[in-house]
């Protein structure tokens, strides 16, 4: 399990790229070794704002050990926002980037910058590449002599951001050399840098996704008091308005008119998401009668094995999101061969990819297909069902999509650039980046 050493998250899980060979095959593994050879010994820094709860942490957690295993010295630092206000502001940024109309005062913007400035005092950067995730640490770039490429990886839906907020954040993004987004539709027009699309992926060997025995599943469900006498419908998601947990309760109550089943909403509380408990309480209020009858179960524990067991034990996995950066939970459900019903947002929703067949969560559909015949529900796709379960929908780890083809400067070169910077007394300049030739 990961733990913090100061501002650095230590997440050596002992897994290697070779462990993935039986799953992804020789070609993928060779391709990764080839790409990694060009970066061998380089130092890469990832910075985000939490090491648990949510897709960003989930991905970096598996990516860092794999990158180190192939010889790229990769470190992961966590921006610790001091006090609750910083994360309240950045959660509102997140909401406004996903389309909610919110205005921000100069004080809020000032606190956002100040927190980043203070954090920069705790973190030295002498790496060959810096990857900043999401808006929380975005302005860090302003507080360093920039002697290496910086990449901004945005995991939220950027298709319709609040214009005023985007104008504010764009000022920082413009200092970056690349943007990385999760979906074609999240491209921002008018940005000078390349915008890459990198589809997030899951780690098939993690506690979240590894195979579990029936006894392990039963033990985990018992530990968290989840009875299995009725078919389970599950949504695994932070308590977040974009995940629409109240909408899930509405759908469930309609299904319950026809089928006796049980809903589990499992969402741990992320330290950088201060809205979680308020949304939890509204869901609790809305589902009160079901909760008292034991037919809606709310769980806030952070336990990857529990998530794994719930996904495997469910007759239907729901992801009724209104907006999604990507939606790893859909991939996780498909990997486990479970029927998944997800809104057509985020993710890899292009119909020609044949990877994910997301549909609006229609209660009649999951009732008919999955719940009235739970014994056969592992194969709903074959029965005109709700999603295409199976491992074709899941891609293990995201390393193949993550070869930064930036020519990273060597130490001597970075030293020279640093002195150029100092001589010119000019901050925030962008060193040229060069595409690496070859595959
Ligand atoms: N997750 C978890 N425990 C929870 C809720 C979510 O481990 O109680 C994990 C979930 O399994 C997935 C990630 O958090 O790996 C959520 O990623 P996703 O892309 O679906 O949504 P995000 O939270 O990033 O918006």
Express each pLDDT in 379-415 by its tens digit.
433 322 344 444 444 444 455 444 333 444 454 555 5
Is the CB of 408 within 6 Å of ligand 1?
A: no
- How many Å from the N-terminal Cα to the C-terminal Cα in the chain? 34
- Residue 390's pLDDT is what? 44
Residue pair 117/427 in contact by the 8 Å Cβ criterion: no
Is the CB of 52 within 6 Å of ligand 1?
A: no
Residue in 62, 328, 332, 358 to alter for ligand 1 test, most ligand atoms within 8 A of Cβ? 328
pLDDT digits (tens, 9 = 90+) for 192-246: 999 999 988 899 999 999 999 999 999 999 999 999 999 999 999 999 999 999 9
| CA 270–ligand 1 middle distance (angstroms) | 10
Is the CB of 357 within 6 Å of ligand 1?
A: no
Residue in 237, 272, 304, 323 to alter for ligand 1 test, most ligand atoms within 8 A of Cβ? 237
Q: Rg of the Cα trace of the chain?
A: 22
- Residue 437's pLDDT is what? 28
Mean local confidence (pLDDT), 308-330: 94
Q: What is the pTM of this model?
A: 0.85
The full set of domains in the chain, from first to last, is 2-202+395-421 (3.40.50.2000), 214-386 (3.40.50.2000)
pLDDT digits (tens, 9 = 90+) for 249-280: 999 999 999 999 999 999 999 888 889 999 99
Residue in 56, 135, 238, 275 to alter for ligand 1 test, most ligand atoms within 8 A of Cβ? 238
* Inter-residue long-range contacts of 166-169, CB under 8 Å, 24+ positions, other chains counted: 166/97, 168/104, 168/109, 169/93, 169/97, 169/135, 169/138
């Amino acid at each position: 399990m990961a733990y913090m050493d100061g501002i650095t998250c230590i997440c050596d899980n002992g897994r290697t790229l070779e462990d993935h060979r039986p799953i992804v095959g020789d070609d993928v593994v060779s391709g990764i070794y080839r790409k990694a050879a060009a970066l061998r010994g380089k130092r890469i820094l990832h910075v985000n704002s939490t090491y648990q709860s949510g897709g960003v942490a989930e991905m970096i957690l598996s990516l860092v050990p794999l990158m180190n295993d192939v010889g790229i010295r990769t470190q992961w630092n966590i921006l610790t926002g001091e006090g609750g206000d910083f994360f309240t502001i950045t959660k509102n940024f997140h909401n406004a980037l996903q389309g909610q109309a919110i205005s921000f005062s100069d004080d809020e913007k000032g606190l956002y910058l100040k927190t980043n400035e203070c954090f920069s005092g705790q973190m030295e950067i002498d790496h060959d590449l810096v990857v900043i995730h999401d808006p929380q640490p975005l302005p860090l770039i302003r507080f360093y002599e920039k002697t290496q490429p910086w990449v901004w990886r945005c995991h939220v839906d950027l298709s319709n951001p609040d214009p005023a907020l985007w104008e504010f954040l764009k000022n920082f993004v413009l200092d970056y050399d690349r943007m990385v987004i999760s979906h074609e539709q999240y491209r921002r027009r008018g940005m000078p840098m390349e915008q890459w699309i990198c589809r997030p992926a899951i780690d098939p060997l993690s506690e979240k996704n590894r195979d579990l025995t029936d006894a392990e599943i039963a033990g985990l469900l018992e530990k968290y008091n989840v009875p299995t006498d009725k078919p389970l419908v599950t949504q695994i998601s932070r308590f977040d308005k974009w995940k629409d947990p109240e909408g899930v309760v509405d759908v469930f109550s309609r299904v319950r008119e026809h089928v006796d089943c049980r809903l589990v909403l499992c969402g741990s509380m992320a330290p950088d998401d201060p809205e979680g408990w308020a949304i939890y309480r509204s869901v609790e209020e809305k589902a009160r009668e079901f909760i008292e009858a034991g037919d809606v179960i709310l769980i806030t524990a952070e336990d990857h094995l529990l998530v794994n067991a719930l996904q495997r034990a469910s007759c239907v996995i729901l992801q009724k999101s209104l907006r999604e950066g990507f939606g790893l939970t859909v991939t996780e459900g498909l990997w486990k061969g479970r029927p998944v019903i997800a809104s057509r947002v985020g993710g890899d929703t292009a119909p020609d990819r044949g990877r994910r067949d997301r549909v609006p969560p229609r209660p009649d559909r999951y009732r008919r297909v999955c719940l009235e015949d739970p014994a056969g529900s592992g194969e709903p796709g074959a029965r005109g069902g709700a999603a295409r379960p199976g491992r074709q929908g899941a891609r293990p780890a995201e390393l193949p999509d993550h070869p930064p083809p930036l020519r990273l400067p060597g130490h001597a070169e970075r030293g020279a650039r640093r002195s150029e910077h100092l001589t010119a007394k000019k901050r925030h300049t962008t060193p040229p980046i060069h595409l690496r030739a070859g595959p």
